[in-house]
Structure 1
Amino acid sequence: MPSYQTIKDWPEEDRPREKLLGKGAQALSDAELLAIILRNGSAAAGASALDHARLLLNRFGGLKGVDEASVGELSSVKGIGPAKIAGIKACLELARRIAGQKWQAGEPLRSSEDVYRHFRESLGREKRELFYVVLLNNKNRKIREVKISEGSLTASLVHPREVYNPVIRESAAAVIFVHNHPSGDPAPSAEDIDITRRLKEVGDVMGVRVLDHVVIGYERFFSFSDKGML
């Protein structure tokens, strides 16, 4: 039976930390990034930090599951003690706070990625379907965001009158529509496509530019503008 090896015993190019420093964090898998947070494995269990990371991801169904797991659930995994759990929870909370930093009034819109980053934490885990309109001035700078509806996206809930009332009040020159899919899959439904088309037609008549409709899922999004569907 081969002897237990720590990550330090591996070739340097295979070690997660060295790989991150040499190639950047984006080059690492979820398991490798998690292994860096865990720092070390368990000689008693014959498992490296990467082994523990893979075990956690498999046990809880990926990063989302690890994030949502309680301290008690994480501690039930062999080799995962208080220090490792604290490190995991702290890193995930920092990521959540960065993602949740507010898109302040007056800040410019640069891309659909900006919209996604702003709404990811508030809508990415939301169990209800919410629809927002983001109001922009003629320089594509944010005025404010307005929640229009809660519940399944239907023509009755997202009526052009309700959507464009705040646009008129704020004299907005452009808008971005944003809503979430509680399923986590941001692919637009037939209803999404139809509502977007109708809202775009009304915007054209009113002289209001519809810049995008961004659908938020879990850790991903769909942009009507990026896909050439506006």
Structure 2
Amino acid sequence: MNLMVKEVAERVYETAGVNQLSMRELLYLMVGKGTKNHSLDDIINDIMQKHHDYGLRNLSIEEIESIPGVGRRTAERICGAVELGRKAYNSNLDKKESIKSPEDAANLLQDIKHERQEHFVAIYLDSRNNVLARRTIFIGSLNSSVVHPREVYREAVKLSAASLVVGHNHQFKYST
């Protein structure tokens, strides 16, 4: 076992969970080892650079696999973990979260801020401002998103929503 992986694994047990680990440490656990020509540190540094440049969630299996020392299985494992995290995050909406402030709404839109294309999202609320559903209404181009109001309201009527919050992202910038 690689020394760094062993240290990270020990830290998991000391802190009673992976939630205290940094992204780099989680990658150490997922990648596990380097290759003859590429050290684990070099591989993790290259993955972190791609994350910095594009956002890890925007990388395909092929893009991660193109990193020297990363094989197909490791690339699939990383992309699978990212997708699992995304689905787990989105499933939290089923817990009847409520929106009591603009910050609450912004928190529910955090996942779109690093998307490559503009996303127009609607959050549908009941009469007590509990979240009924969240829908991506439209995925636009690199820098624009054209949405017709009927698309937004169709879902609101279907859900019998009392109100709604809409938001969209600016590529690699801030959600608004």
TM bracket (short chain): 0.5 to 0.7
Verify the 8 A CA contact 2:119 2:139 in the aligned structure 1.
yes
Q: Does the alignment pair 1:182 with 2:164? A: no
For 2:32 and 2:110, the matched residues in 1 are separated by: 28
**Offset of 1:122 from its aligned partner?**
6.3
Verify the 8 A CA contact 2:132 2:161 in the aligned structure 1.
no
Q: Which residue of 2 aligns with 1:101?
A: 91
Unaligned runs of 5+ in 1: 1-5, 188-214, 216-230
Larger Rg: 1
Q: Does the alignment pair 1:57 with 2:45? A: no
Q: Which residue of 1 aligns with 2:21?
A: 28
**Offset of 1:180 from its aligned partner?**
1.8
Verify the 8 A CA contact 2:117 2:139 in the aligned structure 1.
no
Match of 1:81 among 58, 71, 75: 71
TM-score (norm 1): 0.52
The correspondence of residues 1-230 of structure 1 with structure 2, limited to 5 A, is 7-8=2-3, 15-23=7-15, 24-42=17-35, 44-45=36-37, 47-48=39-40, 50-58=41-49, 60-62=50-52, 64-101=54-91, 103-104=93-94, 107-109=96-98, 112=103, 116-117=107-108, 119-121=109-111, 125=115, 127-128=117-118, 130=120, 132=122, 134-138=124-128, 140-143=129-132, 170=160, 172=162, 175=163, 177-186=165-174, 215=176
**Offset of 1:170 from its aligned partner?**
4.5
TM-score (norm 2): 0.64
For 1:184 and 1:25, the matched residues in 2 are separated by: 27
Verify the 8 A CA contact 2:5 2:28 in the aligned structure 1.
no
Partner of 1:101, secondary structure, is: helix
**Offset of 1:16 from its aligned partner?**
1.8
In structure 2, relative to structure 1, the CA distance for the partners of 1:33 and 1:64 (3 Å cut) is farther
In structure 2, relative to structure 1, the CA distance for the partners of 1:103 and 1:30 (3 Å cut) is closer
Partner of 1:178, secondary structure, is: strand
**Offset of 1:27 from its aligned partner?**
3.3
Aligned Cα root-mean-square deviation (Å): 4.2
In structure 2, relative to structure 1, the CA distance for the partners of 1:19 and 1:135 (3 Å cut) is same
Amino acid at match of 1:16: V
Larger helix fraction of residues: 2
For 1:136 and 1:88, the matched residues in 2 are separated by: 37
Partner of 2:91, secondary structure, is: coil
